[in-house]
Amino acid sequence: MRTAFRRIGRALAACALAAATALVGVAATGSAAHADGCYTWGRVLRQGMTGDDVRQLQIRLSGYPGYNAVLGLDGSYGPATRSAVIRFQQAYGLAADGIAGPATQAKLYELQDNDCTPVNFSYAELNRCNSTWSGGAVSASTARFNALVSMWKLQAMRKALGSVSINISSGFRSYSCNSAVGGASNSRHLYGDGVDLVGSPSFCRLAQQARYHGFRNILGPGYPGHNDHVHLGAVGGWSAPSCGI
């Protein structure tokens, strides 16, 4: 909590500074991105760089790995990260140069909340089991982090589907929550990255689109027990035989 408050405090201080600068007439140009309560990059990122700031970029680009792929969160800006940046830039109509400069960073600030979740998803939606994220197959902090990465994948998927609402019926589950709903004993819900989607768009559309956004465990129509929702997770296989592929 203290860290969160400190970060928010820093962001507010940066905003106050920006306002003061504007008052004396030295208006910031487009290159000065507005500070964010979650995370602010301090440099332009490009291929060949390494660091936690690269990893922070990779987390937010988890939904842009390309078809049937997963973007590594290793803090190393290699060709796969560059390609993910290009896909993100194309999705938002930015100049697609593969460099995470001011315009790309500004778009990412727009897309993130102060707790670092993407604007259209929340930790509460990804955990209807307990408030602590404990009792699953991994530590509470790992489960929460895995859920964060799934949210960024869903944010990319949502954008690709035309900025539609995506309805989550289940996310993280402790072992007791998982057995209460009859979940598989090795369910990705136990790891925090599993999400079940209901409602619209159609389940086949959701399942097929998910293959472009970093989900490897996709179960949908025709797979036993999955005719009333689509299951997405980070690790596993695809099975949605009624969707034709």
The site for Zn ion (CB under 5 A) is made up of 196, 231
Residue 109 or 223 having the CB closest to Zn ion: 223
Q: What are phi and psi of 34, to 5 degrees?
A: -70, 135
State the amino acid at position 147 in one-letter form. Answer: A
Neighbours of 79 (CB within 10 A): 9
Catalytic residue from among 189, 213, 226, 231: 226
Q: Minimal distance in Å, beta carbon 197 to Zn ion?
A: 9
Alpha carbons 48 and 123: distance in angstroms, whole number: 33
**Angle, alpha carbons 31-62-50 (nearest 5°):** 60
Residue 125 or 196 having the CB closest to Zn ion: 196
Q: Minimal distance in Å, beta carbon 139 to Zn ion?
A: 21
| Helices vs strands, H then E, count in the chain | 8, 5
Q: In Å, how far are 1, 191, 225 from 135, measured between CA atoms?
A: 22, 10, 24
Residue 82 or 231 having the CB closest to Zn ion: 231
Residue 213 or 231 having the CB closest to Zn ion: 231
In the numeric block, which tokens belong to residue 191? 């790891």
Q: Minimal distance in Å, beta carbon 194 to Zn ion?
A: 5
Q: Minimal distance in Å, beta carbon 100 to Zn ion?
A: 33
Helix spans in the chain (H): 2-23, 52-60, 79-91, 102-111, 123-126, 140-160, 175-180, 203-210
Q: Minimal distance in Å, beta carbon 19 to Zn ion?
A: 46
**CB-based contacts of 173, cutoff 8 Å, min separation 6:** 129, 136, 181, 183, 187, 189, 190, 194
State the amino acid at position 88 in one-letter form. Answer: F
Residue 53 or 196 having the CB closest to Zn ion: 196
- Is 189 annotated as catalytic? no
Q: Closest residue to Zn ion, Cβ-based?
A: 231
Catalytic machinery residues = 226
